Amino acid sequence: MLAEIIDGKQVSAEVRARVASEVSEFVGGGGRVPVLATVIVGEDPASEVYVANKHRACEEAGMKSVHHGLPGDTSQEDLLALVSNLGADDGIDGILVQLPVPDHINPDEVVAAIDPAKDVDGLSPVSAGLLAGGNPGMIPCTPAGVIELIDHTGTDLTGADAVIVGRSKLVGRPLISLLLDRNATVTACHSRTRDLAGVCRRADVLIAAVGVPRLIGPEFVKPGAVVIDVGINRTGNGLVGDVDFEPVSKVAGAITPVPGGVGPMTIAMLMSNTLRAARSRA
Ligand code: GUN
């Protein structure tokens, strides 16, 4: 039997519509229109497109956004000063410094300088610490989107075997905490894991976030499992995920496509975090 295809575009649209309606309620109740501030250093064309999409999504959700495009030779000190000013600015609810930043800038130091109350990317050490401690503050957008997609399938995570392939700061590590908080039995795999296919085959929910094109073949998948593919790899054959979609979709119970799976969820969760930041600051 073929797996259910989890439509990230549709789920993303649902989340964004929910946020838009909650923004309208928040503003109707006397709240100020939430404002997201974005920062790009240099001229990375992909970053320009991503950030333009974030601004469009803000507008569609009834929120405002402001953009700071800084020259590629901006110093670390000047960038830190801007991040600090945005933190002190009462008219700003969310701050997002688009990554990557140029090589002369230390991204960890910049992200750490973001006011935790406005850290809508959820990447600061404070947000990461709160999440790891089981008292989540801002949740990083991609892992939050993964959980939303799993929930959309109707899967009960309580007691489920969840296996994550990849231990990145942006996706793998936050997912360990998010899945534990949902009472899943969590296994985190990485490049040194022995018998990766065997460990993955135990999973009721298998999440691939490792950046290796089509690593996860059908021999990694328990029949009926939910398979979430976070990978976006540019190859000679176009964009492919970490999962070998065609053969795996004949084994899995539900699977996300690439593109059109996890990708569209990131912006939806950013909108949700921006509203959340505005609410808790109000
Ligand atoms: N670059 C690619 N994805 C992201 C993201 O989610 N947040 C930030 N800040 N930069 C990114």
Name all domains of the chain by residue range, CATH numbers in brackets: 33-118 (3.40.50.10860), 140-263 (3.40.50.720)
DSSP state of 94: E
Looking at the CA of residue 97, tell me the nearest atom of ligand 1.
9
Q: Of the residues 98, 265, 267, which should be mutated to test ligand 1's pocket, given the most ligand atoms within 8 Å of the CB?
A: 98
| Tokens coding 172 | 């793998």
CA of residue 114 to ligand 1 center, whole Å: 14
Query: Which regions of the chain are under pLDDT 50?
Result: none
Q: Of the residues 40, 110, 121, 169, which should be mutated to test ligand 1's pocket, given the most ligand atoms within 8 Å of the CB?
A: 121
CA of residue 213 to ligand 1 center, whole Å: 20
Looking at residue 2, what is its pLDDT? 93
Angle of helix 125-132 versus helix 172-181 axis, rounded to 10: 40
The model carries a pTM of 0.96
Residue position matching structure tokens 């750490």 = 112
Looking at residue 237, what is its pLDDT? 86
CA of residue 98 to ligand 1 center, whole Å: 5
Catalytically active residues, by annotation:
54, 98, 121
Please state, in angstroms and as integers, the Cα–Cα distance from residue 186 to each residue in 52, 101, 162, 239, following that order: 36, 32, 5, 28
Q: Are 163 and 189 in contact (CB under 8 A)?
A: yes
Looking at residue 26, what is its pLDDT? 98
Looking at residue 17, what is its pLDDT? 98
Please state, in angstroms and as integers, the Cα–Cα distance from residue 247 to each residue in 150, 242, 262, following that order: 21, 13, 19
Looking at residue 136, what is its pLDDT? 87
- Cα–Cα distance for residue pair 106/131, rounded to 1 Å: 23
* CB neighbourhood size of 224 (10 A): 12
Instruction: Return the residue whose CA atom lies nearest to atom 11 of ligand 1.
Output: 99
Residue position matching structure tokens 């808790």 = 280
Residues with CB under 6 A from ligand 1: 96-99, 121, 141, 266
Looking at residue 185, what is its pLDDT? 98
| Tokens coding 198 | 């065997």
Q: Residue 45: name the closest of 73, 9, 72, 66 by CA.
A: 72
Looking at residue 1, what is its pLDDT? 74
| Residue pLDDT, tens place only, 71-105 | 999 999 999 999 999 999 999 999 999 999 999 99
